[in-house]
Amino acid sequence: MSTITISGVQKKYHQKPVLKDVNLAIQPNQIYGLLGRNGVGKSTLMRIIANRTRIKVGTVTLDGESVFENERAQNRIYLMSTAKLLPQEEKVFKLFKLIKTMYGDFDEAYAEHLAEAFELDTHSKLRKLSTGYQTIANLIIALCLPCDFIFLDEPVLGLDANHRELFYQELAETFSSKPRTFVIATHLIEEVSGLLNHVFVIADGKVSLDEDVEVLQQRGRQISGPAALVQDYLQGVPVLHTTRLGGMMTAYCLQTPLERPLPAGVSLDGMNLQRLFIEVTRKPGGRDEI
């Protein structure tokens, strides 16, 4: 099975390091979340993989071959981004045909279904569509191409809530009927969390978290109650963050002292993915000890 392997990738812009040492593996038939605070380099990493940004240090391989300047590999990778890379003066339906010629295949029936579902006017020029509908046209292209690895950089930018929901539904359906890999960079973590199998978090130029969502959801815990009891219960346990209100405390952790009984008056709950992300990216590299 094909895997994209990213090893020791570094990228600087004007001497300022953005990616310092990125290592990760993108497996077949997964939906990944590529998460990170603003400006950490998510788009840069995607552009590197899609051969749109060059690097001097590090490698990106697909089936052991470098993906750089490699047409065969790049034909299996698609990056959908907000950058206006598509010909703006082209009518949307013509664009679909153009894309088909470029990639050798394009699911026209599915594109028609999606255009109808989103009420996209395919006879309009791309340039004349509203921002949201330009994104929709871009998304349709991404979902209908025959690529094994589809990178979606901020895929729902400008989409209203109904269209975002429709997109997530369509993504789930197309993924189950025709499994392939999607890597989604987004800040709307709560909205996509139900779709994701695995999460990469980029912080300080590196991958700070590389974990299955299921495992994360089992690990992430928030413990609330009277501060003294919470502190006592979590003695020696690494804590991501704590908040206090009066005498009450909530502590966020990636592990809990399972062997210790939970004191009466203290509650232990799961953390949703968005909260977990906020807590793991709050203080890069930092862990509080209670």
User: Is the CB of residue 234 less than 8 Å from the CB of residue 247?
Assistant: no
Nearest by Cα to 11 from 72, 64, 52: 52
- Measured from the CB atom, is 13 or 287 closer to ligand ATP? 13
- Measured from the CB atom, is 230 or 276 closer to ligand ATP? 276
The CA distance from 69 to 262, in Å, is 57
For 185, the 3-state DSSP assignment is strand
User: Least distance in Å: CB of 192 to ligand ATP?
Assistant: 14
The CA distance from 150 to 75, in Å, is 11
- In Å, how far are 9, 88, 114, 250 from 5, measured between CA atoms? 10, 33, 32, 39
User: Least distance in Å: CB of 139 to ligand ATP?
Assistant: 17
User: Least distance in Å: CB of 46 to ligand ATP?
Assistant: 8
Note the residues at the interface with ligand ATP (CB under 6 A).
13, 18, 36, 38-44
User: Is the CB of residue 115 less than 8 Å from the CB of residue 141?
Assistant: no
- Measured from the CB atom, is 44 or 74 closer to ligand ATP? 44
- Measured from the CB atom, is 36 or 220 closer to ligand ATP? 36
- Measured from the CB atom, is 42 or 163 closer to ligand ATP? 42
- Measured from the CB atom, is 188 or 262 closer to ligand ATP? 188
User: Least distance in Å: CB of 213 to ligand ATP?
Assistant: 20
User: Least distance in Å: CB of 280 to ligand ATP?
Assistant: 15
Q: Rounded to a whole number, what is the largest CA-CA distance in the chain?
A: 67
For 197, the 3-state DSSP assignment is coil
User: Least distance in Å: CB of 164 to ligand ATP?
Assistant: 17
Q: What is the DSSP letter of 129?
A: S
The H-or-E segment that residue 279 falls in is helix 273-280
